[in-house]
Amino acid sequence: MTNPLYDMLLGARADSAAPLLHLAGDGVVTYAAMDASAARVAGLLRARGLGRGDRLAMQTAKSPEALALYLGCVRAGVIVLPLNTAYTPDEMAYFIGDASPKLVVVDPSAEAALGQPAREAGATILTLDAEGAGSLTEALADATPTDAPEPCSGDDLACLLYTSGTTGRSKGAMLSHDNLVSNARTLMACWRFTSDDVLLHALPIFHAHGLFVACNVAMAAGASMIWQPGFDAGAVIAALPRASVMMGVPTFYTRLLADEAFTREVAGHMRLFTSGSAPLLAETHDAFRARTGHAILERYGMTETGMNTSNPYDGDRRAGTVGRPLPGVELRVTDPETAAPLPEGETGMIEVRGPNVFKGYWQMPEKTAEELRADGWFITGDLGVVSADGYVTIVGRQKDLIITGGYNVYPREVEAVLDDQPGVSESAVIGLPHPDFGEGVVAVVVPEPGAAPDLDAIAGAVRSQLANYKRPKHYLLRDALPRNTMGKVQKNALRAEHAALFSGTPEDMAKAGG
Ligand code: AMP
């Protein structure tokens, strides 16, 4: 038996002096050095009694040492839980209780607050700070590296990746070696990664995008990464001339476009920009193309499945779509009520099946049964439509679907009209509790910098383009939409903030257009 994920990431290049990470300044971490670090981590884990199938939770800043910790877990057959650095101690206590890791690695500042939940779960805590220092690093100095990766089967779990949990408790998606290996190999081929590539890596590594799409694909190809601790437009612009590929969330691209130093020359040497984790506005796609000549390649995936669809490397990268299903991934659209497959061109629930689809939710058999069918189809929770030539368009999450007076309103359709109006930078359309209609459609509009959009004119444009029941009953202006670190608009936060909009006095209701 081998260790499928480790073999793909590092095993094949364990002795290679080729660069893996380019750090700030002239620092370089080679493949061989990273393999040695991972072997040391694996040795420490073994000495501390962690073996195949045990869990390790990590909530650490992005650093080469944090990457080595992930890779050391894979080498040791230990299931790793990468956790968002924004989680509070209370949230961390939930993850520690749920996953019962034997070891928890956190920033030194979080150690005291996590002492009790760790003790209750029988876990010890080690620390790692943003500079790579802490009790983990001290313990590693005395660790004996393991000679070889721990043998694992393709079905063994490599990772528990918690969903962002915008509705209810976060769930631990169980991802196997085969899930991660198959997806990385598929993306590497589709996006033509080779060992000559230099990936500009500015994403966080606690999320599938930065860890499994970016790091795993780059390492599977033997490519190197320009390793930046986070997204900073100036640092990205300075590094782009040395890179060949960049992966980003849509906000990376809007921020680059907002910077005059981001020119055609800066991007001239790049061969690929990809976008995902949230919808890329067609307007951003077009503006990026006009500025740089590059068509951003948009793809679609999620924690539970890795990547499902991608626009083509060669061929039409269609703005506003997420492209076609990846090789080996089946995708269908079903009726959310009856689960019957829908004919092409009809909007419904996106379901996917393939080697990328996870093994279920950790210790949640009922949730797993609700979302993962016995025949392997995963109900994504995303609503979408497939064109005659196979391109998938996502219209939103099912939980964001608005049902008003018995009619379905897909927020994306209304947002597209609003985004086209003069002075509008972007918008979010939400449903709020409404005494008559169940939910009332509400538009949250963000003006372009310095603009004051004419809401009456916007309402007029909406009237001319959309059926009555789809039209917002109320418009709210705000400077920015609330987003999480992956650039996703937090509609639940907007709904919570304005929950009482339609529940006031009759006078309030009249004002709210209800
Ligand atoms: P996560 O599990 O945090 O990766 O979030 C997955 C969700 O992000 C998906 O179910 C989609 O709702 C959304 N998502 C990912 N990529 C895209 C995309 N290219 N366009 C629209 N939504 C996306």
In a mutational test of the pocket of ligand 1, which residue from 171, 277, 280 has the highest number of ligand atoms less than 8 Å from its CB?
Answer: 277
Q: Give the residue-averaged pLDDT of 358-377.
A: 97
Measure the CA–CA gap between 380 and 428, rounded to whole angstroms: 21
How far is it, in rounded angstroms, from Cα 490 to Cα 509? Answer: 25
Pairwise CA distance, residues 8 & 395, whole Å: 35
Question: Does the C-beta of 394 come closer than 6 Å to ligand 1?
Answer: yes
What is the distance in A from the centroid of ligand 1 to the CA of 484?
12
CA–CA distance from 239 to each of 211, 243, 245 (Å)?
Answer: 20, 7, 11
C-beta separation of 154 from 181 below 8 A? yes
Q: State the distance from the centre of ligand 1 to the C-alpha of 330, rounded, in angstroms.
A: 17
The size of the chain, in residues, is: 514
- pLDDT, tens digit, 9 for 90 and up, residues 236-295: 999 999 999 999 999 899 999 999 999 999 999 999 999 999 899 898 999 999 999 999
For residue 508, the CA-to-ligand 1 centroid distance in Å is 36
CB atoms within 10 A of CB 100: 15
Q: How many CB atoms lie within 10 A of CB 423?
A: 15
The finding on whether 247 has its CB within 6 A of some atom of ligand 1 is no
Residues 177, 38: Cα–Cα separation, whole Å:
17
Q: Region 133-141: what's the mean pLDDT?
A: 98
Cβ 298 under 6 angstroms from ligand 1: yes
Q: Which of 207, 318, 350, 382 is the pocket-test mutation for ligand 1 (most atoms within 8 Å of CB)? A: 382
For residue 204, the model assigns a pLDDT of 96
For ligand 1, is residue 277 a contact (CB within 6 Å)? yes
Ligand 1: nearest atom to the Cα of 381: 10
β-strand partners of 224? 198
- Interatomic CA distance for residues 77 and 212, integer angstroms: 17
Q: Report pLDDT digits (tens) over 78-98.
A: 999 999 998 889 889 999 999
> Is the shortest distance between the CB of 481 and ligand 1 below 6 Å?
no
Amino acid at position 193, single letter: F
Specify the pLDDT at position 161: 97
Evaluate: CB of 284 within 6 angstroms of ligand 1: no
Ligand 1 atom nearest 298 alpha carbon: 19
Q: Name the more confident of 509 and 23.
A: 23
Residue nearest to atom 20 of ligand 1 (CA): 279
Indicate the average pLDDT of the chain. Answer: 94
Has residue 115 got a pLDDT over 70?
Answer: yes
Tell me the CA–centroid distance for residue 161 and ligand 1, in Å. 15
- Among 470, 477, 377, 392, which Cα is nearest to 427's? 477
Q: Which amino acid is at 63?
A: S
Our answer on whether the CB atom of 393 is closer than 6 Å to any ligand 1 atom is: no
Can you give the pLDDT at residue 435?
86
Which is the closest atom of ligand 1 to the Cα of 322? Answer: 19
- For atom 9 of ligand 1, the residue with the nearest CA is 302
Maximum C-alpha span of the chain: 75
Q: DSSP assignment of 180-213, as one string?
A: HHHHHHHHHHHTT--TT-EEEE-S-SSSHIIIII
Pairing of strands 103-106, 124-127: parallel
Q: What is the pLDDT of residues 431-468, one digit of tens each?
A: 999 988 889 999 999 999 999 999 999 999 999 999 89
Please choose from 162, 163, 170, 302 the residue to mutate so as to test ligand 1's pocket, defined by most ligand atoms within 8 A of CB.
302
Look-up: residue for tokens 């990547």? 307
Q: What is the DSSP track for 12-81?
A: GGTT--SEEEE-STT-EEEHHHHHHHHHHHHHHHHHTT--TT-EEEEE--S-HHHHHHHHHHHHHTPEEE
- CB of 201 closer than 8 Å to CB of 28: no
Confidence of residue 504 (pLDDT cuts 50, 70, 90): low
Mean pLDDT, rounded, for 4-9: 98
Under the banding of pLDDT at 50, 70 and 90, the label for residue 210 is very high
Ligand 1 touching residue 163 (CB < 6 A): yes
Do 58 and 81 form a contact (C-beta atoms < 8 A)? yes
- Residue 514 is predicted with a pLDDT of 44
Q: How far is the CA of 194 from the centre of ligand 1 (A)?
A: 26
Describe the chain by its helix, strand, coil percentages, rounded to 5: 35, 25, 40
* Cα–Cα distance, 285 to 295 (Å, whole number): 7
Q: What CA–CA distance (Å, rounded) separates 76 from 152?
A: 9
Question: Using one digit for the tens of pLDDT, what is the confidence trace for 465-495?
Answer: 998 999 999 999 999 999 988 888 999 999 9
Query: What is the CA(3)–ligand 1 centre distance, in A?
Result: 29
With a 6 Å cutoff on the Cβ, whether 124 touches ligand 1 is no
Q: Average pLDDT in the 165-180 region? A: 86
Residue nearest to atom 1 of ligand 1 (CA): 302
Q: Give 277 Cα–ligand 1 centroid separation in angstroms.
A: 4
Q: Which atom of ligand 1 lies nearest, measured to the CA of 486?
A: 3
**Residue 444 CB–ligand 1 contact under 6 Å:** no
From ligand 1's centre to the CA of 452, what distance in Å? 31
- Contact criterion met (CB below 8 Å) for 191 and 220: no
Would the pLDDT of 362 be above 90? Answer: yes
Whole-structure pTM value:
0.90
Distance from the alpha carbon of residue 246 to the mean position of ligand 1, in angstroms: 18
Which of 125-134, 419-428, 495-504 is predicted with the least confidence, judged by mean pLDDT?
495-504
CA-CA-CA-CA torsion sign (463, 464, 470, 476)? negative
**How many C-beta neighbours within 10 Å does residue 269 have?**
12
CA angle in degrees (0–180, nearest 5) for 445-449-454? 50
- Amino acid identity for residue 66 in this structure: A
Is the pLDDT reported for residue 507 higher than 90? Answer: no
Contact indicator for 432, 439 with CB cutoff of 8 Å: yes
What is the per-residue pLDDT for 281? Answer: 87
The Cα 455–Cα 461 span in angstroms is 10
Dihedral of the alpha carbons of 353, 355, 356, 359, in degrees to the nearest 10: 90
Region of 279 on the Ramachandran plot (φ > 0 left; ψ -120 to 50 alpha; else beta): beta
Distance 279 CA to ligand 1 centre (A): 7
Q: 308 CB under 6 A from ligand 1?
A: no
Q: Which amino acid is at 362?
A: W
Burial class (CB in 10 A: 0-12, 13-18, 19+), 39: buried
On the question of pLDDT at 324 being above 50, the answer is yes
CA distance 83 to 165: 13
Q: Is the pLDDT of residue 307 over 90?
A: yes
CA 349, distance to chain mean position in Å, is 20
Question: Averaged over 305-334, what is the pLDDT?
Answer: 98
Q: What is the pLDDT of residues 48-62, one digit of tens each?
A: 999 999 999 999 999
